[in-house]
Chains A and B, each alone.
Chain A
Amino acid sequence: MKTSKSYKEGIASLEVDGIPDQSLGHDSDTIGILLSWKLTLIGLTVLEGKKEHLLNLVYVILSYSRSCISGLPDSISDMAQSIKISGVKGGHELILVSTKKDVEPLTIILDDAELSDLTKCLDKILFDRSIAISWLVPLAKPFTCSKFYSNPFRFKGIVSPLVGISCLCITSFVYLNLPLFQTSPTPLEATIEKDTYSKEINN
């Protein structure tokens, strides 16, 4: 009745035990109810837990891998803050907080190859049709453009237009406020003006 399955990739080896969910009409090879799981990271650690822990681990690792493929290794954790992964110098830091009391959080540093192994191992269980579990993984969700193009305020960028606009305003102000010079008419101009007046009278 109990079904065991194992998935291996590089340093990662995942073993799951479970039973088919008869109420949903699963066949004998299908795991609908996950009883236990054990993830062995060769040379690093062995992890065990409940179904929720595996769901959280799959969510965190695959979400992080998704951000790594985009070149944005964000810090990602689950809702309960029990699993957290972030990029550090020379690798990826995975922090696992135990639900048991008096147990210190476990910190594992994975290099790129180990992260790929773990991702591929978890991919295998995710794409196994005989595991009838709903995974919550944003595997094919494209990122928004704003994640790639940060637009911080740069003072240097607005200095040149500000100086330009200020110069224009000052120049305009000065020219508008220049006093008008009214020179006295020359003798010739005075004669012309006089003649013009007389012509107008004659007309």
Chain B
Amino acid sequence: MIRKQSSIEFNSAEKGLNIVKPSLLFGMQTTKWRRSIEKIDLLFLTLEALDVNTSQSFEFIARDLEISHVFPNYVAIWKTRCHNPLRRSPRNSTISIESFEGMIKILSSMSNQFYPRIRELLTSKGSTQHRSERWDKFCLRLEELITERMNIRLGLVKKYLIMTSTSDSFQKQLLLILALSSGPGGIKRLSSSIFEPLL
């Protein structure tokens, strides 16, 4: 498929991080919003599956990104993540645009920090034994986290669990999203694709 090259001209002089356009946030309390918050939370879970102590560094990342006013502590991040309707005990209150953008910034920054580990899992090169050991450990941890945090009676969560247990493509897709979300270009890619369905 050939696409026109003149779709969007990206000028090097305009490299500001305009993460989410206000027009895209129109109708936040809709399917689009629900889908995006589910996706964000699932990507956070994937990061947590990479390292047990990941959740502890969210606060430091928020401080580095100068969004401490939005997320003053770890609990604030956790509360925002609990807007995911697939959680065991979801929050029904509205989520602010600042919190939403902050979550995307943290996700991109964490992906950049964990990029070497994500790369290790995505590569097809190297010792097969070591790769399969790392992969199995990651898959097991992700499955545990989904079972622990999500409402397993919901159809979508059941679907996630079936997909994680039957094939590797779902986990690979999550890792590829994280790998491509890292860095300054990654945050733009992630923010423009955040409202798109995961499955």
Contact = CB atoms under 8 A, between A and B. Distances in A.
A131 B10 CA distance: 13
Contact of B3 (A63, A119, A124): A63
B122 A116 contact: yes
Contacts of B2: 76-79, 81
Contact of A123 (B13, B183, B193): B183
A69 B176 contact: yes
B198 interface: yes
Contact of A66 (B15, B193, B197): B193
Interface residues of A, number: 48
Interface in B168-193: 172-173, 175-177, 179-186, 188-193
Contact of B12 (A65, A78, A133, A140): A133
Given A59-B5, A134-B12, A112 B179 contact: yes
Given A79-B2, A139-B188, A65 B119 contact: no
Given A78-B5, A139-B189, A112 B176 contact: yes
B6 interface: yes
Contacts of A120: 115, 182-183, 185-186
A139 B183 CA distance: 13
Contacts of A127: 15, 183-185
Q: How large is the interface on B (under 10, 10 to 19, 20 to 34, 35 or more residues)?
A: 35 or more
Most chain A CB within a 10 A radius of its CB, from B24, B120, B125: B125
Contact of B196 (A70, A76, A133): A70
A137 B122 contact: no
Interface stretch (A93-101, A141-149, A166-174, A183-191): A141-149
Contacts of A132: 12-13
A137 B10 contact: yes
A123 B181 CA distance: 11
B8 interface: yes
Nearest to A111: B124
A79 B5 CA distance: 7
B7 interface: yes
A69 B180 contact: yes
Given A136-B10, A139-B10, A141-B7, A113 B186 contact: no
B186 A142 contact: no
A124 to B, nearest CB: 8
A157 interface: no
Contacts of B133: none
B118 to A, nearest CB: 8
Contacts of A79: 2, 5
B190 A69 contact: yes
27 contacts: A66-B192, A69-B176, A69-B181, A69-B189, A76-B1, A78-B2, A78-B5, A90-B124, A111-B123, A111-B125, A112-B123, A112-B124, A113-B125, A116-B182, A117-B119, A123-B184, A123-B185, A127-B15, A129-B12, A131-B12, A134-B10, A135-B9, A138-B8, A139-B192, A140-B188, A141-B8, A141-B192
Interface of B: 1-3, 5-13, 15, 18, 24, 115, 118-120, 122-125, 172-173, 175-177, 179-186, 188-193, 195-199
Given A116-B122, A124-B183, 4 more contacts: A91-B124, A116-B182, A123-B186, A128-B12
